[in-house]
Structure 1
Amino acid sequence: MPQPKKGPRLASSPAHERLMLANMATSLYAHGRITTTLPKAKRLRPLAERMITFAKRGDLASRRRVMRVIRDKSVVHKLFTEIAEQMEQREGGYTRITRIAPRKGDNAPQAIIELVTEPVSPKQATVREAEAAAKQAAKDEDNEMAEATEAAITGGMAEDATDQAVAANESGEDVAAADQSAVDLQKESKEAEAAEAQAEEDADVAEDVAKADEK
């Protein structure tokens, strides 16, 4: 006999197991609680909570998705109207499993799985609202800081460009005068170098003449 890939098989075939879980979920939504064995309750819980999640969405696609599992239209109507409204403030944990005494005869562990219909406490709701508000405020502050930084960078670049343009316009004559002074200094330097070279050449000629006279 083939073995299931994950977890124990609760029925003779996968199709039988899906049908059994669907019937149990239908009874759970209709009566609010059912008594079954502990393994079946643990396998039922994810399916039941997934159907409630679809019901909280409330759109047509979600209703059709639930109708593939829950075939009783009256139970589906109750799930989408009453149960979904009761679970509006909850973000999960729609069911509760409570262990009870073992079953007589085979001593199988039993449990009660029920819908958590108690309203969320005002304190928890206030804490969640405060956390959401704090996250939104932090996000808005980060966005404002980023915008301010970008504006400051843009403004600084524009100011620098303006200062450079003004400085260039104001110092146009100074730049031309500095260029002329550089040209004059370069010309004077060349003339000084030429005079120095001529003086060295004259000194060498005079030295040669002095040595010839000594001889």
Structure 2
Amino acid sequence: MRHRNGGFKLGRNTSHRRALLRNLVTSIILNDRVHTTITKAKATRPIVEKMITLGKNGSVHSRRQALAYLMTPESVDRLFKIVAPRYSTRPGGYSRIVRTSVRKGDASEMAFIELLGAEQELSEKAAKRSEARAKRQEELQKQLEERGPGEQPDPSAEN
């Protein structure tokens, strides 16, 4: 019987588990979405919710508590200036877990854990990436057209 066996151990010792969860929470706050295993996502979700609640509080004490848990000062700034105001009227439930696939190597169930309401920001980032990729493709195509057939590129001209 597994009565009173709560929590996620994730096959790690205490310090490794704490570092893993801190990194995941920091990444979620910075990037709005992280691809990870379902178990790690389920373990991370309550901590993300707590951090956003601290951000909504907005006091100096809350900022210090968030700084003690999150890995980077940039993530604390983003939490208090961008992420928390997004949920000012929402009483809870700031994140969702979306199951995606099974990892090929070990058949672990994978999932996205993402912040709600970040779809617009994520789509803008994706659009920027695709524009940059298209621009890079055009530059490469132009370089190929400038070269003669069978000519090797000049290594000193790159970068």
Question: TM-score, normalised to structure 1's length?
Answer: 0.51
Aligned to 2:82: 82
Letter in 1 for 2:112: I
Deviation at 1:29, TM superposition (A): 0.7
- Distance in 2 (alpha carbons) for counterparts of 1:106 and 1:116: 29
Give the conservation status (yes or no) of the 8 Å contact 2:94–2:116: yes
In structure 2, relative to structure 1, the CA distance for the partners of 1:8 and 1:81 (3 Å cut) is closer
Aligned to 2:16: 16
Gaps of 5+ in 1: 120-215
- Distance in 1 (alpha carbons) for counterparts of 2:80 and 2:11: 29
Could you list the per-position Cα deviations for residues 95-139 of structure 1 after superposition, in whole angstroms to 9, with x for gaps in the alignment?
A: 0100111111111011100000269xxxxxxxxxxxxxxxxxxxx
In structure 2, relative to structure 1, the CA distance for the partners of 1:9 and 1:118 (3 Å cut) is closer
**What percent of counterpart residues are identical?**
38
Letter in 1 for 2:6: K
Give the alignment's Cα RMSD to 1 decimal: 1.7
Letter in 2 for 1:52: I
Give the conservation status (yes or no) of the 8 Å contact 2:96–2:115: yes
- Distance in 2 (alpha carbons) for counterparts of 1:105 and 1:78: 35
For the residue of structure 2 that corresponds to 1:114, the secondary structure is strand
Letter in 1 for 2:31: H
For the residue of structure 1 that corresponds to 2:48, the secondary structure is helix
Letter in 2 for 1:51: M
Aligned to 2:136: none
Aligned to 1:34: 34
Give the conservation status (yes or no) of the 8 Å contact 2:32–2:118: no
Deviation at 1:11, TM superposition (A): 4.1
Deviation at 1:62, TM superposition (A): 0.4
Gaps of 5+ in 2: 120-159
Deviation at 1:89, TM superposition (A): 1.4
Could you list the per-position Cα deviations for residues 44-102 of structure 1 after superposition, in whole angstroms to 9, with x for gaps in the alignment?
A: 00000000000000001101111111030011000001001101111111001001111
For the residue of structure 2 that corresponds to 1:46, the secondary structure is helix
Mapping for residues 157-176 of structure 1, pairs under 5 Å: none
Residues 1:91 and 2:103 are matched in the alignment: no
Aligned to 1:62: 62
- Distance in 2 (alpha carbons) for counterparts of 1:31 and 1:62: 21
Bigger relative contact order, structure 1 or 2 (CA pairs below 8 A, ≥6 apart): 2
Q: Which runs of 4+ in 1 moved over 2 A?
A: 5-8
Count of aligned pairs between the two proteins: 116
Greater C-alpha radius of gyration: 1
